[in-house]
Structure 1
Amino acid sequence: MGALTEHQLYHDFVRLYQGVYLSKRTPVTAAVRARAAWLFAGPSAILTGFSAAALHGSKWIDASEPAEVIRVGHHRSTRNLIVHNCRLTSDEITVVDGIRVATVARAGFDLGRRLSRIPAIVALDALCGATGLKPVEMSRLAEQHPRARGLIRLRSVLEDVDGGAESPPETRTRLVIVDAGLPRPETQIPILGSDGWRFACSDMGWREWSVLVEYDGEHHWTDRRQRAWDIERSARIEALGWKVIRVGAELLYDRPHELVRRVRAGLCAAGAPV
């Protein structure tokens, strides 16, 4: 392959960082931006935050989020790139596809200290779900770095992290419930049929009171087959004695008080002390 001409770069590629270009036919995902940032920052740089999370397989990361790298010394942040000046210990660094990145625990540690509460919990739920990371692993890093900024925020966030959430709306639904003072729901509850085999897994709920809460994403309504299965699935679950409270985007984002009322009523009817 020969070198690209200026004309080709201008018409067929988009510049992500100085000297780093991407074909206009390639979607700019968080992982793609992370790799581009590392190429720009140089091999001594270490990806962290959302950039490291993306390479570790975390989902639901906004591709417009700036990449994050760690470089020791005085380096200025630039457009779509945040540069952190700090040192990581050797056990906080790993390599993914030839790229130096913060370990899963360190990436979560950095996200939890920097982001505000709900975005932090959404990000850490996704990271834990994708990698098996546990909140206690981030707590250990907090103990090892007692002078790091944002530790109070991180510790308060970790109390509500749950890797069982399979989407940001599921995380937000759980937080609405918990913030209302209701019992914390268990996530990913297996539902067994009369034959003892699992035929479904519910988003969240309380086994003790046989109450479930399920978030219906857009595909539950636009996909005909999915909708048909949802109806059949709900009927089978309710026939086993479960109370199912369904939540959609409008209820979650526009009427969270009604969401709480419905969950509270369902728990009360089942004998929960709420």
Structure 2
Amino acid sequence: MSFRRPVARQMPPVFSVRDAYANDMTRGQLRNPALQHPFRGVRAAPGVEIRLLERCAAFAASSPRVQVFSHVTAALLHGMPLPERFDNAPLHVMSPASARSTKASGTVGHSATFNSLEVVAVRGIPVTTVERTWCDLAAILGFADLVAAGDSLLWHENPATTIERLRDAVARYPSQRGRRRMRAALNSLSDHSRSRPESLLRLAVVASSLPDPVPNYPVFLPLSGKRIEIDLAFPDYKVGLEYQGDHHRTDRRQWRSDVRRGNDAVDENWSMIYVTGDDLGNFDDVIARTERRLRARGWNGKRAVSPKQR
């Protein structure tokens, strides 16, 4: 892309038309066909990967109205795991209830009641808090995906919030949309699910006729002298389920560690079941295999909540 007149050096890769004019760009420059048009009032340099943060910053700069990013957009900015179909979703923008929601192309507008305590800044971008965001997601996500998003906020090694704060947000949530699903999900959250697939797997097992598993169960292996955590465990029967994501396959060191770790567990009489991405969305085979392993180790088929359940 070339211009007869140089572009101001301070212009970011993604910028609003308003900022462009403020930096002396001309209308002719902004009409250059090489520029990308993410949505009205925003331009991006050719070949630039327009990431979510840049899209939000450019939209915020292009709009003089008081608005915050919410729902799916806020969830992604907070690092909450969502289904892949939301990776390139339109920006979700929330306006005060007294104002009309945005109709801008490339956005989903919401008009809702919220206060300043429900807004935080993520790298300078105004977004709804993790608690308010999780509540808003109840109108968009299914039960399992909502639980997985909530689990990520409670992960005990690096919690973004607490179950008490989520309960308080649910109690104060001003909308009725998704409220029943929200309350059901709230009662199913765990602070011991390391990833979205682990959460989905746990929910599938809990919804089956199998005993309730213990998530991220710590185990000491005397023969190897190692301490490990099993994603989902049935300690009374020494049966464990492990989710193997793609990074376990592409990272050589991780793959070798996983194999060694699995062998060490088997040496201690643990029966290990490995789950992959192919199983997501339909855990029937995993449930059936787990039932066979449990029965082989003395489970009588009666459901019982483990006393060690977290």
TM-score range, shorter chain: 0.7 to 0.9
Partner residue, 2:133: 107
Query: What are the equivalent positions in structure 2 for 1:68-217 lying under 5 Å apart?
Result: 68-72=92-96, 73-129=99-155, 131-145=159-173, 148-194=176-222, 199-217=227-245
Using the alignment, how far apart are the partners of 1:118 and 1:48 within structure 2?
20
Aligned residue identity for 1:50: V
CA change 1:190–1:24 in 2 (3 A) is farther
TM-score by length of 2: 0.74
Partner residue, 1:246: 274
CA change 1:124–1:42 in 2 (3 A) is farther
Structure 2 gap ranges (5+): 1-6, 9-23, 304-310
Deviation of 1:89 (Å)? 2.3
Deviation of 1:24 (Å)? 4.3
1:15 paired to 2:15: no
Q: Deviations over 1:165-198 (max 9, x none)?
A: 3333323222221222333333222333328965
1:229 paired to 2:257: yes
SS of residue in 2 equivalent to 1:74: coil
Using the alignment, how far apart are the partners of 2:118 and 2:138 within structure 1?
16
CA change 1:195–1:226 in 2 (3 A) is same
Using the alignment, how far apart are the partners of 1:24 and 1:124 within structure 2?
37
Deviation of 1:103 (Å)? 1.1
Deviation of 1:262 (Å)? 1.3
CA change 1:264–1:49 in 2 (3 A) is same
Using the alignment, how far apart are the partners of 1:198 and 1:77 within structure 2?
57
Percent identity, aligned pairs only, is 24
Query: Alignment RMSD, CA only?
Result: 3.0
CA change 1:235–1:91 in 2 (3 A) is same
- The answer on whether the counterparts of 1:30 and 1:63 sit within 8 Å (CA) in structure 2 is no
Using the alignment, how far apart are the partners of 1:208 and 1:33 within structure 2?
51
Aligned residue identity for 1:269: A
TM-score by length of 1: 0.83
Partner residue, 2:90: 66
The answer to which structure has the higher helix fraction is 1
- The answer on whether the counterparts of 1:56 and 1:131 sit within 8 Å (CA) in structure 2 is no
Which range moved further: 88-97 or 263-272?
A: 263-272
Which range moved further: 4-13 or 112-121?
A: 4-13
- The answer on whether the counterparts of 1:53 and 1:127 sit within 8 Å (CA) in structure 2 is no
Aligned length: 273
CA change 1:193–1:30 in 2 (3 A) is farther
Deviation of 1:70 (Å)? 1.4
Aligned residue identity for 1:46: V
1:260 paired to 2:282: no
Among 61, 64, 67, the alignment partner of 1:39 is: 61
Deviation of 1:21 (Å)? 2.5
CA change 1:257–1:57 in 2 (3 A) is closer
Using the alignment, how far apart are the partners of 1:166 and 1:23 within structure 2?
37
Deviation of 1:102 (Å)? 1.1
Q: Deviations over 1:222-261 (max 9, x none)?
A: 444433322211011222232211112334445x322111
SS of residue in 2 equivalent to 1:229: helix
Which range moved further: 245-254 or 210-219?
A: 245-254
Aligned residue identity for 1:82: V
Structure 1 gap ranges (5+): none
Deviation of 1:11 (Å)? 5.3
Deviation of 1:82 (Å)? 1.5
- The answer on whether the counterparts of 1:29 and 1:63 sit within 8 Å (CA) in structure 2 is no
